[in-house]
Amino acid sequence: MGFLMPEGEAVVWRGPMLHKAIQQLFTDVNWGSLDYLIVDLPPGTGDAQLSLAQSVPLTGGIIVTGPQAVSVSDALRGANAFERLEVPIIGVVENMSGDIFGAGGGMDAAKKLRVDFLARIPLDSQVRIGGDQGEPIVVMAPESPTAKAFRDFARVVAAKISVMNILPEPQLKIV
């Protein structure tokens, strides 16, 4: 989570400022009726995960990584933060997969975390172009492999959340 200064220098919110921004996201925005609200958090120390978990009840976390080892390392730190907060990890998705950055980091992360590998989203310039135009790739190019990957990913996550919401909470926790 961050913002751009006029000079184009990125500033990342930390500590109290980050916590306040996350609280405002849930208290000052009229979300209307939603099936899901997905919050994209920055990689890092777990400050954002902690602030989010303190602000609202979380159904679970999805760990997003790129294929590269450095991305997997960052993603695992975020996953560790969710585990410490006792937020269930729904699974791992690999973003920007393909010829340029490689593939396989997401599967490696899922194995290390012992969670499901949910999807591999290919790197596609149409995602950026559509984002700049305010038109998601699933609308702009619905038959593209990337749009299909996003739809399949969304279906898998929705199904997993539905199952999580049906299953009873365990009554006894052994540590």
Q: Write the pLDDT tens digit of every residue in 140-169.
A: 999 999 999 999 999 999 999 998 888 766
Q: Looking at residue 72, which CATH number applies to its domain? A: 3.40.50.300
Q: With beta carbons less than 8 A apart as the criterion, state whether 137 and 144 touch.
A: yes
pLDDT in tens, 22-37: 888 888 889 898 888 8
The model's pTM = 0.81
Instruction: Identify whether 5 is part of a domain.
Output: no
84 belongs to a structural domain: yes
Question: Residue 61 CB: number of other CB atoms within 10 A?
Answer: 23
User: What band does 8 get if pLDDT is binned at 50, 70 and 90?
Assistant: very low
Both structure tokens of 152: 């399949």
Q: What is the pLDDT of residue 7?
A: 47
Domain holding 148, by residue range, is 35-164
For 60-102, the pLDDT digits (tens) are 999 999 999 999 999 998 899 889 888 999 999 999 999 999 9
- Whether 161 and 59 have beta carbons less than 8 Å apart is answered as yes
Residue 22 included in any domain:
no
